[in-house]
Amino acid sequence: MARQTPRRRAKRVLTRLERRYGRPVWRPRGSAVDVLVGTILSQNTSAANSAAGLRQLKRSFRSWDRLADAPVSRIEKCIRVSGLSRIRAPRIRRILRGLRGDRGEVDLEFLARWRPQRAAEYLMRFDGVGPKTALCVLMFAFGMRVLPVDTHIYRVAGRLGLLAARCSIEKAHLLLAPLVAPRDRYAMHLLVIAHGRQICRARAPLCGRCVLADLCHCGRQKPARSAGA
């Protein structure tokens, strides 16, 4: 049998994950600045903790302009629940001030009119905004057909042979997106993250319950009961 191409393998992965979890429908997650700050808070913490920090910021400051003028100590207190508050508080304030210096206001909605590459490059000019954070803003605020790669996607893609063993997470953004049709990138992003959290965990992956086990060099010794596709 001919060797399966990476694009075909990625399509099989998506098909199986959709059967397992359902296909997600895109919905905006707030303004682009909301998504930017929320994504910064989500790094290396749980979704619940990052969401709690974002809620506390919005409840305390009412506008991003007010936050940009606030003392770092007050911002830090609000986001303590999200972790790394001493690093994130000055970073968030610096980014918001940078946006205001560029545009005259703390706003990112103008990016909706830009091409994804240009918009991502603009966001990555700010210290603390890498490819994943920039692309999350474009995907979740504007519905752009990009593919952010977080630690779950990076791990699962590596186990499935979609990435070389020594591929960096930065390079993974360049390699994975072309393997997934633009219309499927939102679904692929969310479904692989869900699978990485529930089944293909960093430690003790549940290979016996994995619908991708026969595609994965990590799980071939424990094939899923009904892989399908």
Q: Do residues 108 and 45 both lie within one domain?
A: yes
Instruction: Tell me whether residue 82 is in a domain.
Output: yes
Tally of domains in the chain: 2
Instruction: Tell me whether residue 227 is in a domain.
Output: no
Q: Do residues 63 and 46 both lie within one domain?
A: yes
- Of 11, 58, 77, 132, the active-site residue reads 132
- Predicted TM-score of the model (pTM): 0.90
* Final residue in a domain of this structure, among 95, 110, 142: 142
Question: In the chain, pLDDT over 90 holds for what percent of residues?
Answer: 86
Please determine, for residue 187, whether its predicted confidence score (pLDDT) is greater than 60: yes
Q: Do residues 203 and 125 both lie within one domain?
A: no
Instruction: Tell me whether residue 229 is in a domain.
Output: no
Instruction: Tell me whether residue 114 is in a domain.
Output: yes
Please determine, for residue 62, whether its predicted confidence score (pLDDT) is greater than 90: no
Q: What domain range includes position 94?
A: 32-142
Instruction: Tell me whether residue 226 is in a domain.
Output: no
Q: Do residues 206 and 113 both lie within one domain?
A: no
Question: Each residue of 132-162: pLDDT tens digit?
Answer: 999 999 999 999 999 999 999 999 999 999 9
What CATH number does residue 199 fall under?
1.10.1670.10
The pLDDT, as a whole number, for residue 44 is 82
Is 222 tagged catalytic?
no
Q: Do residues 153 and 173 both lie within one domain?
A: yes
* Final residue in a domain of this structure, among 142, 173, 202: 142
The whole-chain average pLDDT of the chain stands at 92
What CATH number does residue 76 fall under?
1.10.340.30
Instruction: Tell me whether residue 228 is in a domain.
Output: no
Please determine, for residue 59, whether its predicted confidence score (pLDDT) is greater than 60: yes
What is the DSSP secondary-structure string of the chain? -PPPPHHHHHHHHHHHHHHHH--------S-HHHHHHHHHHHTTS-HHHHHHHHHHHHHHHSSHHHHHTS-HHHHHHHTGGGS-HHHHHHHHHHHHHHHHHHHSSS--GGGGGS-HHHHHHHHTTSTT--HHHHHHHHHHHH--------HHHHHHHHHTTSS-TT--HHHHHHHHGGGS-GGGHHHHHHHHHHHHHHTS-SSS--GGG-TTGGG-TTTTTS--S----
Q: Do residues 83 and 119 both lie within one domain?
A: yes
The pLDDT, as a whole number, for residue 69 is 96
Instruction: Tell me whether residue 181 is in a domain.
Output: yes
The pLDDT, as a whole number, for residue 112 is 97
Instruction: Tell me whether residue 120 is in a domain.
Output: yes
